[in-house]
Chains A and B, each alone.
Chain A
Amino acid sequence: MTKKKTFLDVVSTNRFIHTLLAIILGFLFGAIFLAIMGLSVGQAYGRLINSVTTLKGFSYVIVYSIPYIMTGLSVAFSFKTGVFNIGCEGQFVMGSMAAAVVGILLGDLPGIVLIPLCFLAAMAAGALWGAIVGFLKTKWGINEVLSMIMFNWIAFYLSNFIAGIPAIHNDGSAEATKSISEHASTLLSKDLIKNMGLAPTANWGILVAIAMTVVIWIIIEKTTLGYELKAVGANRYSAEYGGINVNRSILLALAISGAMAGLGGALQLMGMGSRISVFSSQEGFGFAGIVVALMGCSNPFGVLVAGIFYGALTYGGSKLNLVGAPTQLISVIVGTVVFFISISVIFENLKRIKTRAQRNAEAAAMRRAEEKEAQK
Chain B
Amino acid sequence: MKKYLALILALVMAFALVACGSKNNTDNKIKIGMVTDVGGVNDKSFNQTSWEGLQALAKADSSFEVNYLESKTDADYKTNINTFIDEDYDLIICVGYMLADATREAAEANPDQKFAIIDDASCADLPNVACLMFAQEQASYLVGLVAGSVTESKTVGYVQGMVSDSMNLFGIGYITGVLEACPDATVLQYNANNFGDSAGGATAAKDMITKGADVIYHAAGGTGMGVIEACNEEGIWAIGVDTDQSILAPDHVITSAMKRVDVASQDISKAVKDGNFKSGVHMYDLSNGGVDLAPTRDHIPADVLAKVEAAKAAIIAGEKTVPTSTADCPAFTLDD
Contact = CB atoms under 8 A, between A and B. Distances in A.
A321 B67 contact: yes
A5 B1 CA distance: 7
Interface string A1-20: 00001010011001001001
Interface string A183-204: 0000000000000000111000
Given A24-B11, A43-B22, A173 B75 contact: no
B119 to A, nearest CB: 9
Contacts of B70: 318, 321, 327
A41 B68 contact: no
A176 interface: yes
A172 B19 contact: no
Contacts of B83: 318-319, 322
B130 to A, nearest CB: 17
Nearest to B194: A280
- The interface residues of chain A, by DSSP majority, are classed as helix
B101 A275 contact: yes
B22 A46 contact: yes
A43 B100 contact: no
Contacts of A49: 16, 19
Contact of B166 (A42, A173, A176): A173
Interface in A267-285: 268, 272-273, 275-278, 280-281, 283-284
Contacts of A17: 1, 4-5, 8
A329 B241 CA distance: 32
A348 interface: no
Contacts of A10: 1, 4
Interface in A234-289: 268, 272-273, 275-278, 280-281, 283-284
Interface in A158-214: 160, 164, 172-176, 179, 199-201
Interface residues of A, number: 50
Contacts of A21: 8
A347 interface: no
A137 interface: no
A173 B165 contact: yes
Interface in A1-58: 5, 7, 10-11, 14, 17, 20-21, 24, 27, 40-43, 45-49, 56
B86 A56 contact: yes
Contacts of B15: 24, 27, 45
B112 to A, nearest CB: 16
Nearest to A179: B101
Contact of A45 (B1, B19, B74, B195): B19
A173 B69 contact: no
B73 interface: yes
A313 to B, nearest CB: 13
Contacts of A276: 74
Contacts of A323: 24
Interface in B80-107: 80, 82-83, 86-87, 97-98, 100-101
A60 interface: yes
A273 B78 CA distance: 9
Nearest to A280: B196
A322 B12 CA distance: 24
Contacts, number: 116
Given A17-B4, A173-B164, A45 B38 contact: no
Given A41-B18, A280-B196, A283-B72, A175 B162 contact: yes
B173 interface: no
Interface string A79-98: 00000000000000000000
B97 A24 contact: no
Given A43-B24, A60-B79, A281 B38 contact: yes
A321 B68 contact: yes
A201 B76 CA distance: 10
28 contacts: A11-B4, A17-B4, A24-B12, A24-B15, A41-B18, A42-B19, A43-B24, A46-B19, A47-B22, A49-B19, A164-B193, A173-B97, A173-B100, A173-B122, A173-B165, A174-B97, A176-B74, A199-B79, A200-B82, A200-B109, A201-B79, A272-B75, A275-B101, A278-B193, A281-B38, A283-B72, A318-B80, A319-B69
Interface of B: 1, 4-5, 8, 11-12, 15-16, 18-22, 24, 38-39, 67-70, 72-76, 78-80, 82-83, 86-87, 97-98, 100-101, 109, 120, 122, 162, 164-166, 193-197, 222
Given A40-B22, A277-B73, A283-B72, 8 more contacts: A45-B15, A49-B16, A173-B122, A173-B165, A175-B162, A281-B196, A318-B70, A322-B87
